[in-house]
Amino acid sequence: MFPRIRRLLSILSILAALASMTPSARAGQQRQKRSPGRLEGAVYNVASGDPLTKVSIEVTGHEEIFSTGVSGDYSISLGPGTYTVRFFREGFNDQSVADVLIISGESKQLDAALSPVGHQVGESVTVSAGSSNDVVAMLEDRKASTTISDAISALEISKDTASSAAGVLRRAPGVSVVDRFVFIRGLGERYSNTAMNDAIMPTTEPDRKVVPMDLIPANLLQNIKILKTFTPDQPGEFSGGLVRLETVDLPRAASLSVSFSLGFNSETQGKRFLGYAGGGNDFFGFGRRARSLPAAIPAGERVLRGNIFLPGGFTPEQMESFGESFENIWDPREEGARPELGWSVSGGRSFGRFGVIGALSFKNELQTRSEVRNFYQIAEAGRLSPTHSYDYDSSTMTARLAGTLNTTYEINKDHRLFFKNFLTNQANDETRVFEGFNQDRGTDLRNTRLRYMEERIYTGQASGNHLMPSLGDSILTWRYTYSRATLDEPDLRETLYEFSPVVDDFVYLNQTQSLFRLFNEMRENVREPAFDLAKYWFFGGKSLNTKLGASFINRDRVFDSRRFRFTPRGLSGIDTTLPPEQLLVPANIGQDRGFEIREETRTTDHYDALHNITSGYLMGDLTVGRWRFIGGARAEKSVQRVQTFEPFRARQVPILAELENTDWLPSVGVAYSLRNGSMALRGGYSRTVSRPQFRELSPFEFTDVTGGRSTVGNPDLERTLITNYDLRWEWFYSPTELLAVSAFYKDMENPIEVVVEPTAEVRTTYRNVDRARISGVELETRRNLSGLWQRLENLSVNLNYTFARSRVEIGEENRIILTDIERPLVGQAENLLNVSLAYDLPRLGFESRALYNFTGARITDVGALGLPNIVEHSYPHLDLMFAKGFGGDKKLRAEFTVENLLNRQVDYRLGDRPFRVYRSGRTFAIGLSYRIF
């Protein structure tokens, strides 16, 4: 098993053993009755949401004055009793909390929020421990945010039916997930960015630089924030938004919990499931070694038979040996589909100044899909005429094993160090068969494909928070993050047969994808040192928070691909109706008859890429009474280099594509507080950038590794500049309720779009087109329905709706052979709707959720040669969750979920004709979780 996973398992085992050694287990009951309790919590600035250092804490009956540390937190040992606690700091209004009950041997959580002098707010909010307060804290953080943002709390994540961040994110306003990637406010994946623990994440995608969100298990996340307006302390590649993922945080008390689940899909279990003989570790997602390139294949030399034109080639005997070294597994076979399985374990505790928390999560899912795909051409009078029609049957097993291990060490209350680790490994093992009529061949074709893909992301971060009295009590934060992403796609195998009326059977067809084997490998590293320095200033009833910082992002990537195909050298006497495993027996892999292995690796199947971003920023946050002004600028110098070269010709001069820019990115925001702070009006203006992706800069032709048209890069691409305007009105009419209306407009200069070139074989490329614009409105509400009828006090609703429109102006000079010179952005849905109905009975430990998502129609592929755009039609999605806690402290929890209850047909259309049609099925799952302590 992967070494880091083994280490995580060992650490978690030690963690569980240590956490079980609680003080109460070592002390007798009599001693426990005499032991003191603890008062713990954190203090925040109402205006900014930042933690407040140097806050004095006065407790009745104690002469000593306590104070908060660098993270705004505190911990006080108190004897059993009832106290009044006062929080005060120069430049802020005091806050007092009465009747704080301390129980012997227990911890009491008491968080406070102080407002700057002159800043008008309503009733101060004090958040204590409890599940409902997770939402309270989230809304308080949003109320004090410097940006227009949305958040998904740990509580909401735990109540969702989705197992990955991709499924959870689609609940947020204005967010949709298209093919594993996040679209924010209708802008595609190139216009969004993802950070974990404030550091940019690497990707496992060879032709992109964004993170597939299905790789991130939801139960390892503390919260998810979607920032929709840019501030200078964020990366400049920020247009649609920034997704900020925070991994699980250190608990205030020792904890250990486990969970287990089983699932069944109506289209999979009990139906035909395809598979093949793979590796022994496939179940856990570590099967790449079982499919690695045979050791006999030379690493640095192309596998070809030598001749007068290739004097350095291999002998016929060597070529035969190479061919026989490949494992002869090609044929899909029917298997039984086992139930889906998932489990997780998490735990943590503090040991004096040292704290540790860890979690491990595993999910094994199966999915069978039967779909119809139709292809068309333009006939007379512009009508669509069918050319090919195929029935696709595919079965996929997905295994995801992920873990996180975070530690903290408090040198003293003014200095704290952190070390955070996150690792996820996901494998997709697909077996696919399609069969149907091909007009070009005038007969039926049968294709099989075995595809295994293993993706892995590791992120490790060392960081520190330091209070600097010598700099006027400034707060210095620093971090160094190293991240690595890997993609292994070993031994993709594909065959192609065509129906022959002569023999009334399917026979081997000698085409480029027949008896074909592909080995892809990618490695990407990201290194990011960064620091921030913040200081508060108070003068004349006003408060100013100044912040400056710098960062350096170094991203490098290497991609390699090797292609092999068994080519016929003479098939006389060989029965070509035999399936591949009988066709490629050793007797048919010869020197002058049968089949010979041949390497078809292309000259563009290797590239190295580098992207360095050096940046610095300065910003201020000024609070004057009801007004708040946030502004500043960020400078970024970006250097991108892509080298493409022949992997077997080391002396060849590589083709270099380079793009270098320095950009000044300003940001201005204004907020106005209404109704004693319960309402807020926010506005923002910013300038951001979107840079080309690595493969888009390469001048060579390549084929997308996931299939599709041939594509050629464009070294003359320029980065896109985006002007952003945002406005939001929010009304926080209770600690857990909200009403918000937002509007946005984005003007994009030189956006990068896919265009089609009229070459002999149609291919696509990338060009800067004239302009693109997108505008929209977002509506959001969180409400308990007791205001409508008292008997509905246990029923609440969360609803958000987004209406967005976009327009891309291609321009006549860039049209080439595209069907439309004006159209919406690819992947942008005009309508997005999310509704969550929650009915809870806390006294009985009962919880239920109905989660509805509606995504409107959107373009998935741009039309060319007169063909219309391919459009995915609107799709409604309904999930249900029911849970019940058992026992006096509800440590045992049982859960039943139903995903995709409506099971509507997924429908892609070319004009009014069906292009791709299938159903995903309903998934039923049962789960048990137990909180040991």
pLDDT at 434 over 70: yes
**Angstrom distances, CA of residue 306 to CA of 303, 310, 564, 797:** 9, 5, 16, 72
Question: At 476, is the pLDDT very low, low, confident or very high (cuts 50, 70, 90)?
Answer: very high
- DSSP letter assigned to residue 903: -
Q: Which of 147, 139, 234, 228 is nearest to 804 (CA)?
A: 228
**CA-CA distance, 922 to 381, in Å (whole number)?**
42
Q: Is the pLDDT of residue 38 over 90?
A: no
Instruction: Check pLDDT > 60 for residue 261.
Output: yes
Distance CA 163, CA 157 (A): 9
Residues forming beta bridges with residue 261, ordered by sequence position: 342, 927
CB 739 within 8 A of CB 780: yes
pLDDT at 903: 95
| C-alpha distances out from residue 197 to 32, 361, 398, Å | 38, 19, 26
Mean per-residue pLDDT of the chain: 86
Q: What pLDDT does residue 106 have?
A: 82
Nearest-angstrom CA–CA distance, 648 and 541? 70
Structure tokens at 448: 């099989």
φ/ψ (deg, to 5) at 448: -125, 150
In the chain, the N- to C-terminal Cα span, in Å, equals: 30
pLDDT band at 814 (very low <50, low <70, confident <90, very high): low
* For residues 603-626, average pLDDT: 90
pLDDT interval class at 378 (50, 70, 90): confident
- Which of 177, 202, 205, 182 has the alpha carbon at shortest distance from 192? 182
CA-CA distance, 509 to 809, in Å (whole number)? 43
Tell me the C-alpha distance between 151 and 227, whole Å.
9
Give CA–CA dist 778/267, Å, rounded.
35
The confidence score (pLDDT) of residue 791 equals 81
Contacts of 502 (CB under 8 A, 6+ apart): none
**How many residues are given for the chain?**
933
User: In whole angstroms, how far apart are CA 463 and each of 243, 390, 484?
Assistant: 20, 54, 18
407 pLDDT tier (thresholds 50, 70, 90): very high
Does residue 208 register a pLDDT over 80? no
Residue 501 has pLDDT above 80, yes or no: yes
In the structure encoding, which two tokens stand for residue 349, read together?
Answer: 């505790």
For the record, the structure tokens of 684 come out as 């923002």
Residue 107: enclosing H or E segment and its boundaries?
strand 107-109
Q: Identify the H or E element spanning 400.
A: strand 384-412
The residue that leads in pLDDT, 309 or 388, is: 388
Q: How far apart are CA 674 and CA 700, in angstroms?
A: 57
Q: Between residues 386 and 796, which one has the greater pLDDT?
A: 796
How far apart CA 779 and CA 798 sit, in angstroms, is 11
Average pLDDT over residues 578-606: 89
DSSP label of 857: -
- In this prediction, residue 4 carries a pLDDT of 46
Q: How confident is the model at residue 852 (pLDDT cuts 50, 70, 90)?
A: very high
pLDDT of 736 strictly over 90? no
**779 has a pLDDT exceeding 90:** yes
Sign of CA dihedral 683, 232, 46, 174: positive
Q: Three-class SS of residue 425?
A: strand
Which string of b and e fits 714-734 if b means at least 16 CB within 10 Å? bbebebbbbebebbbbbbbee
At residue 674, φ and ψ (nearest 5 deg) are -125, 160
The pLDDT of residue 26 is 37
Task: Name the E strands within 325-383.
Answer: 333-335, 340-351, 354-378
Q: Which carries the bigger pLDDT value, residue 882 or residue 439?
A: 882
pLDDT at 678: 84
The amino acid at residue 332 is: P
CA separation for the pair 875, 907 (Å, rounded): 8
CB atoms within 10 A of CB 34: 11
Model confidence at 813, in pLDDT bands (50, 70, 90)? low
Look at residue 609 and tell me whether its pLDDT is greater than 70: yes
Cβ within 8 Å of residue 791, ≥6 positions away? none
pLDDT of residue 490: 95
Cross-strand pairs, 445 = 436, 498
Q: Which helix (H) or strand (E) holds 568?
A: strand 542-570
% of the chain surpassing 90 pLDDT? 47
pLDDT of 131 reads 40
**Confidence band of 682 (pLDDT split at 50, 70, 90):** very high
> How many other CB atoms sit within 10 Å of the CB of residue 209?
23
Is 772 in a helix, a strand, or coil?
Answer: strand
Dump pLDDT digits (tens) for 820-846: 778 888 888 999 999 999 999 988 889
- Between 47-61, 108-122, 154-168, the lowest mean confidence (pLDDT) is in 108-122
What are 18's two structure tokens? 């240590």
pTM: 0.88
> Tokens standing for 747?
């003007």
CA gap 343, 814 in Å, rounded? 52
- H or E, element range at 322: helix 316-325
CA 821 to chain centre: 32
Contact 903, 878 (CB under 8 A): no
Least confident interval from 658-667, 757-766, 917-926: 757-766
Of 124, 86, 149, nearest in space to 141 by CA: 149
Cite the beta strand spans of 168-240 per DSSP E. Answer: 175-178, 181-184, 192-196, 199-200, 221-227
- Provide mean pLDDT across the span 767-792: 88
- 542 to each of 47, 361, 376, 483, 500, how far by Cα in Å? 11, 48, 67, 41, 85
- Measured distance CA(452)–CA(286) in Å, rounded: 10
Least confident residue range of 127-136, 315-324, 370-379, 473-482: 127-136
Contact assessment for residue 350 and residue 292, using Cβ atoms and an 8 Å cutoff: no
Gap between the Cα atoms of 684 and 629, Å rounded: 10
Is residue 21 pLDDT above 70, yes or no? no
pLDDT at 503 over 50: yes
